[in-house]
Structure 1
Amino acid sequence: MKIAFLLFFIAATTYACAQKQGEIINVKEVHRIESVLASDDMRGRRAGTPDIDRAAGFIAEEFRKAGLQPIKENSFLQKFSMVNAQLVSLKAEIDGGEINPKNVIVNTFDREVKIDEKSGYEIRYINSDETLRERLEDILQAKKNMIVFVDTSFSRIFPRLSAFNGQTFTSDEEKHNTIVYILGHYRPKEFKIKAEHNLNETKYANIVGILPGKSKKNEYVIFSAHYDHLGIARQPQNGDSIYNGANDDAAGTTAVIMLANYFKKINNNERTLVFAAFTAEEIGGYGSQYFSKQYDPEQVIAMFNIEMIGTESKWGKNSAYITGYDKTNMGAILQKNLKGSAFTFHPDPYPAENLFYRSDNATLARLGVPAHTISTAKMDGEPNYHRVSDEVSSLDLANMTEIIKAIAVSSKTIVAGKDTPTRVKQ
């Protein structure tokens, strides 16, 4: 009798949970959110433009309505800026002789740089018998002001060192260092280097909401997607110039909002849940990089990054794949939690594409976090990928809804603190 009652209780509980999930995660809500994010009014949601601000405001309002806590004070916006330095003028002298500017590279984020032998810069050399890449890694990791003399045997690839200037986050507390590379055989007693730059600053914002854990508040589970896309096409295609990005990645962002609603309403998360919509994925992944710098990777238990789930996978409906499946046991945990359902998670079928390190999960994954991307995108044939035809009408919203439900169910033991995925194998 007790066994029969227990079986009845389990069945009834399972049915109630499934019923509640179906009420919260439903096609009507998926369509509503997706249609707003991928509408023409959003003008392609290009990062760094006013157009993406409308999408940011909508996502923040959805997080507020879901009952999430804002990331900072009363705002869900995780703001940051990036600066790019462009050289305007350069003059360098060593022991009284002027150096050809082509043989000098100044990597800095200061408008004006004035250096001489009394400036306290560390002097280093890259010799012909050394590996350039290894030496550069040492130099960059030191994060010191340096003058680096590079042997002329590296003259062919010397200009590429300017690429290390790139862009950087201006909101970092740490002071950015300056590195000057000089091509040639020098052991200088005196030197003077003067460089001027234009600094171009662009402002960005991730949208982040928090659902505090009950017993494991300092253990974080992240659900994420990028909400930016490509903006407006220079040349209209069949009369359309807006990259709506319905699948890439309004679909993933819709999933994050739906999951935020779901987990808030069922209210059983022992670990703290972080819901993040990243900016600037399409132009370098800057949003997820900045976000990742705000967390101790040892406290991040898992990351569910969701990208392009609006079309059927190569296996058809009720299926998706997980990038980097074999790097942790997270995929096995998700499959265990889906036992008895019609849904299946598969390993990434496109290993040659290196998808694990190409999406917003990559920064935390490199730090050992079980951070994976869930997708259905057919990388050998998505007809609307990065085209203006990526519109809501091209999506299978019913199947997309089932994928979101599968993520909710499969993550339950991780959210509840019962399962902890293994760390990433590099």
Structure 2
Amino acid sequence: MKRLFAAALLCTALAAPAFAQTAAPAPVTSAAPATDWTVKPEWISAHVRFLAGPELQGRGSATRDEAIAAAYVAARFQGYGLQPVPGTDGYLQKVKVIRPRLDGEPKLVVGGKMIAGAKLLFGGAERVEGVATLYMGDDGAELPAGDVILAGGPRLSTMAALRATRGRKTKLLVLRESDETQKLWSRLGERPRLDAYLASQAPEDGVSVVVLPAAAFDRAAKAAGKPVTMTLPGLVREEVETTNAIGYLPGTDPKAGVILLAAHVDHLGVQPGGTVMYGANDDASGVAAVLELAHALSSGKRHKRGILFAAFGAEEMGGFGSRAFAAAPPVPLGDIVANLAFEMIGAQDPKLPAGTMMITGFERSTLGPALVERGALVAKDPYPEQNFFARSDNYQLALRGVVAHTISGWAVTPTYHSPQDTIANLDIPFMTRAVQSLIGPVRWLAEGDYRPDWTPGGKPGE
């Protein structure tokens, strides 16, 4: 029965190249306030069971399964009485993305000599050139500047080194193989994570990361100060399509602004070897939260402010659903009063007070404290070193000035990006209570004139 339903939803999802043709429901009308709305755990569970069930095979970014999941969300939006965004003709937005893949091995030349055994972890540039700078320390924060960095410290963190290249002109980071790089290669499915980009935009310049076997790295290190060239002769660029589902609850005052509640609908899909990454927590749980907030907030009288509800596609591939939304928003970005994204709310973090979730970048704006004052079960992010604020869909809005944060449960849960991220490992009662706690605060935000502000230095880029 679920397979037939999924097929029917897919027909809806693929009905049009931009926004799918879907008849708009009647406008939302005033009614008695829903003061006693109760979120039911079976509603939460039903959403997650469909989205993270075996039929959708992990909802891989820009796949048929992701499109089915987005169509399910769109159908729920329409069923709750949401409308398409004004100026569009449906609930589904199709976004074209260029996704590179590498058919072959990278070729690395250091000091005029070919270095064998290179494995590309991250990147996308077809050709990189520069002069080698050697760093054998263990502190990523002390990574030197340069076009090409050879980093071989025995205790150097790969991710710390990569973070250290941000904001610099580093083109290539060459690492000495370690247990950490081997585990990372395995987590990537033993294939490089290449930089995709929106078909409507030029590709961004990013850093490429290569790992060399220990002996090969030691040979390359002797050529410090000499030219380095890396090429990807087997690079193929293919165009794929991701899907956003967007619903709109209009407000009574068009000048009062709009609130955006969002999550990402995709996950990692089927990995090499046939392993399914179900993505129940990441991020079917967040989508369930958005759906049940839409269910609750559409149940009573119209609010002063409009509310946009979105399920973005291709977050795992680089946040391309939210990138497309931010690049061509269906409402002016200046009209978006605040954005709350929901990411991995399916488990309680033992570092947080019992029953609460965290808000990434809590201290960056006045939004989090205001929600707490109104009863939201949220708290500060206990992992500031992880920079979660910049690692979810909220960041694309924040970069453009919108006060935007992500609400998460246990961001470092052991099931993260693993086949064990299934509904069996979710805490449905916790999720239910958490979503319930947000209805009143979000309704307050939608009813009043309060507009959150960035705190000094909190806005990205300041």
TM-score bracket, shorter-length normalisation: 0.5 to 0.7
Displacement after TM superposition at 1:57 (Å):
1.6
- CA deviations 1:29-79 (Å, max 9, x no partner) are 111111111111010000122121221221111111111112464421111
CA contact (8 A) 1:216 1:417 kept: no
Partner of 1:324: 361
Judged with a 3 Å threshold, the aligned counterparts in structure 2 of structure 1 residues 26 and 317 are, in CA distance, closer, same or farther, namely farther
Out of 295-304 and 305-314, give the one that drifted further.
295-304
User: For 1:86 and 1:308, how far apart are their aligned partners in 2?
Assistant: 28
Which of 56, 75, 97 aligns to 2:70? It is 56
- Other structure's SS at 1:275 match: strand
CA contact (8 A) 2:52 2:422 kept: yes
Does 1:333 pair with 2:370? yes
Which of 302, 308, 314 aligns to 1:280? It is 314
Displacement after TM superposition at 1:107 (Å):
8.3
Judged with a 3 Å threshold, the aligned counterparts in structure 2 of structure 1 residues 266 and 284 are, in CA distance, closer, same or farther, namely same
Out of 26-35 and 250-259, give the one that drifted further.
26-35
1:54-133 matches, within 5 Å, as 54-71=68-85, 73-83=88-98
Partner of 2:156: none
CA contact (8 A) 1:217 1:270 kept: no
Displacement after TM superposition at 1:157 (Å):
5.8
Where in structure 2 are there 5+ consecutive unaligned residues? 1-32, 103-123, 127-144, 148-168, 174-193, 206-234
Which of 356, 364, 378 aligns to 1:345? It is 378
User: For 2:377 and 2:80, how far apart are their aligned partners in 1?
Assistant: 28
CA contact (8 A) 2:256 2:304 kept: no
Higher alpha-carbon Rg: 1
Displacement after TM superposition at 1:233 (Å):
2.8
| 2:74 aligned partner, one-letter code | A
Does 1:415 pair with 2:451? no
- CA deviations 1:198-240 (Å, max 9, x no partner) are 652111111111111111356120000001001113246xxxx
| 2:98 aligned partner, one-letter code | V
Which of 375, 380, 384 aligns to 2:415? It is 384
User: For 2:266 and 2:101, how far apart are their aligned partners in 1?
Assistant: 25
- CA deviations 1:283-342 (Å, max 9, x no partner) are 11111111112233322110010011111122354211111111110011101111xxxx
- Other structure's SS at 2:298 match: helix
Which of 344, 356, 378 aligns to 1:308? It is 344
Partner of 1:371: 404
Displacement after TM superposition at 1:368 (Å):
2.2
Judged with a 3 Å threshold, the aligned counterparts in structure 2 of structure 1 residues 73 and 422 are, in CA distance, closer, same or farther, namely closer
User: For 2:240 and 2:345, how far apart are their aligned partners in 1?
Assistant: 30
User: For 1:178 and 1:232, how far apart are their aligned partners in 2?
Assistant: 27
| 1:313 aligned partner, one-letter code | D
1:6-405 matches, within 5 Å, as 17-19=34-36, 21-22=37-38, 25-71=39-85, 73-83=88-98, 166-171=195-200, 199-216=237-254, 219-235=257-273, 241-295=275-329, 296-314=332-350, 315=352, 317-338=354-375, 344-379=377-412, 382-405=413-436
Judged with a 3 Å threshold, the aligned counterparts in structure 2 of structure 1 residues 51 and 425 are, in CA distance, closer, same or farther, namely closer
- Other structure's SS at 1:216 match: coil
Where in structure 1 are there 5+ consecutive unaligned residues? 1-15, 88-105, 109-130, 134-155, 180-196
- Other structure's SS at 1:411 match: helix
User: For 1:222 and 1:297, how far apart are their aligned partners in 2?
Assistant: 10
> Percent of aligned pairs with the same residue?
31
Aligned length: 321
CA contact (8 A) 2:67 2:242 kept: no
- Other structure's SS at 1:63 match: helix
TM-score by length of 1: 0.67
User: For 1:178 and 1:55, how far apart are their aligned partners in 2?
Assistant: 29
Judged with a 3 Å threshold, the aligned counterparts in structure 2 of structure 1 residues 84 and 49 are, in CA distance, closer, same or farther, namely closer
- CA deviations 1:113-158 (Å, max 9, x no partner) are xxxxxxxxxxxxxxxxxx999xxxxxxxxxxxxxxxxxxxxxx966
User: For 1:297 and 1:35, how far apart are their aligned partners in 2?
Assistant: 34
CA contact (8 A) 1:217 1:272 kept: no
Greater per-residue helix proportion: 1
- Other structure's SS at 1:266 match: coil
Judged with a 3 Å threshold, the aligned counterparts in structure 2 of structure 1 residues 270 and 330 are, in CA distance, closer, same or farther, namely same
Greater per-residue strand proportion: 1
The CA RMSD measured in Å over matched residues stands at 3.4
- Other structure's SS at 1:265 match: coil
Judged with a 3 Å threshold, the aligned counterparts in structure 2 of structure 1 residues 204 and 270 are, in CA distance, closer, same or farther, namely same
| 1:328 aligned partner, one-letter code | S
| 1:245 aligned partner, one-letter code | G
Judged with a 3 Å threshold, the aligned counterparts in structure 2 of structure 1 residues 178 and 335 are, in CA distance, closer, same or farther, namely closer
User: For 1:58 and 1:84, how far apart are their aligned partners in 2?
Assistant: 25
